[in-house]
Structure 1
Amino acid sequence: MRLDKFLSQTGFGSRKEAKALLKKKVVAVNGELAKEGKQSIDVERDRVSVQGEVVIYQEYYYYMLNKPQGVISATEDQSQRTVLDLFKREDYRMDLFPVGRLDKDTVGLLLITNDGALAHELLSPKKHVDKTYIAKIEGKVTNNDVQIFARGMQLTNQEHCLPAQLTILNSEHLPETQTLISLVIQEGKFHQVKRMFEAVNKKVVALKRTKMGPLQLDETLKKGQYRSLTNHEVALLKEHQTRKNE
């Protein structure tokens, strides 16, 4: 790998910024000062350091974010705060992106990564990856609604949704006019959960994603907090997609 690409992929900015570091004479390879960004290195054998600190190469990064309300699922925006704005400077990388989107007012599990292949596998409609939500609904959800969702349904604009698993939960702590539900869908259409309930004359007043495939939201994460996935969680995601492809 080229040295400037290595520096860029390990969090030192663009290749242009990496070359600026080389000009400052703060980059060394195996103890020798590096001068050219085009220098080829072996990421497994060569020892690269910046200002005396050894740089460990890691190709892919995986983070679980408990998305709060009021931020958008995007990498950058001129006027609104994005999920990547929640990242600490030492964790931020230019190639990170959210896997799929949660609406601005939706909270809960959002996977942030730079692994495009895994993201594609998780988001492809053909892969039928389960996404689980907990929602507070204005209106009394009935067993008839459960059956409608289970059959697959037409949205208000005649767009078709695949069958979904709707479960009515204990709503004793809610007003009589509201219902707590769990919903498992395998798609990610625009405002899908909200539009599904609009199709049965009800309204989503609060929505939280708790699970995506085998990945479960870590409830110890406060809204706006994130953490790296464990090796076990990454393995579960990859194993899940391998089974889906068989």
Structure 2
Amino acid sequence: MRLDKMLAHMGYGSRREIRGLVKAGEVLVNGLPAKDVGMQIQEENDQVLVYGEEVIYSEYVYYMMNKPPGVISATEDKHDETVIDLLDPLAQHFEVFPVGRLDKDTEGLLILTNDGKLSHQLLSPKKHVPKTYFAKVEGVVSQKDIDQFAKGVILDDGYETKPAKLTIVQAAEISEIELIIVEGKFHQVKRMFEAVGKKVVFLKRIQMGELSLDPELELGDYRELSKEEVEILRNSQPIAF
């Protein structure tokens, strides 16, 4: 790969700006000043430094965000703040997109990446990748609801959901539950509870596949996934209830 292409991809500026960095001696390749922006770089073997900092090349980037309520899961919107607006300029440079959607008023785990293959793998209806939610629900959630969710419920448009695993954390006038679903229909969790006469008043996604939301991430914060976490997502398996 050409040196200027590598550095442009990693967010170090336009190719013209990178030429300026090379002329100023700010780019070192294997300890020596780069003399030609067109020189070929072996990303896995050559060491590239810019301003003394090593450049670690990556074709794809992966971020975990604790999405706050009031922000929409989209790359752009004329009226509302999007999850992309919460990213710093370097993260935005990679043109990432959210893997699936969380409703505007729903918070929690959201993956952002520019890896379309992984996104398709996680969202494909054929893959049945599980998604786990914590919710507060108006009404006493009971064993009857658990049994109904395990069979699938019929939504307001006549669609019958796939089986889901409902766990009661606390049964009360405002019940607390965890729910695992394997599909992602529009407002699905809320509509499932509406189908059994209850209303979701708080909703948070806490897990996708085997990857859990980092408890240290505050609302609106994000971080890069580790290589191990990316592999966890890649190896996500269907779940049977």
- TM-score interval w.r.t. the shorter chain? 0.7 to 0.9
* Superposition deviation, residue 138 in structure 1: 1.5
Q: Is the counterpart of residue 190 in structure 1 residue 186 in structure 2?
A: yes
Matching residue's letter, 2:98: P
Task: Tell me what 2:114 maps to.
Answer: 114
SS at match of 2:167: strand
Q: 1:203 aligns with which of 189, 199, 205?
A: 199
* Cα distance change, pair 20–80 in 1 and its aligned pair in 2 (3 A): farther
Bigger mean CA deviation after superposition, 222-231 or 117-126? 222-231
Residue 94 of structure 1 pairs with residue 94 of structure 2: yes
Question: Which consecutive unaligned segments of at least 5 residues does structure 2 have?
Answer: none
Name the Cα RMSD after superposition.
2.5
Residues 25 and 33 in structure 1, CA contact (< 8 A), matched pair in contact too: no
1:165 aligns with 2:161: no
2:34 is equivalent to residue 32 of structure 1 = yes
- C-alpha deviation, 1:47, in angstroms: 4.6
Q: What is aligned with 1:240?
A: 236
Q: TM-score, normalised by structure 1?
A: 0.83
Which amino acid counterpart does residue 97 of structure 1 have in structure 2? Answer: F
Secondary structure of 2:150's partner?
A: helix
The 5-angstrom pairing of residues 133-144 of structure 1 reads: 133-144=133-144
Other structure's SS at 1:196 match: helix
1:230 aligns with 2:216: no
Give the number of equivalent residue pairs. Answer: 233
CA distance in 2, matches of 1:131, 1:53: 38
- Percent identity over the alignment is 52
**For residue 235 of structure 2, what is the amino acid of its counterpart?**
E
Retained in 1: the 8 A contact 2:129–2:236? no
Q: Deviations over 1:102-146 (max 9, x none)?
A: 011001111122222221111111111110001111222232222
Aligned-partner Cα distance in 2 for 1:113–1:133:
21
**Runs of at least 5 residues in structure 1 that lack an aligned partner in the other structure:** none
Bigger Cα displacement from structure 2, 86-95 vs 195-204: 86-95
2:152 is matched with which residue?
152
Change (3 A) 1:134 1:89: same
TM-fit CA distance, 1:94: 3.0
Distance of 2:6 and 2:128 partners within structure 1: 35
State the distance in 2 between where 1:188 and 1:130 align.
10
TM-score after normalising by structure 2:
0.84
SS in 2 for 1:181: strand
Query: Are 1:127 and 2:123 matched, yes or no?
Result: no
The answer to whether the 8 Å contact 1:168/1:181 transfers is yes
Match of 1:103 in 2: 103
Q: How many Å apart are 1:8 and its aligned residue?
A: 3.5
Q: Secondary structure at the match of 2:126?
A: helix
Distance 2:219 2:89 in 1: 18
Matched, 1:216 2:216: no
- Partner residue in 1 for 2:63: 63
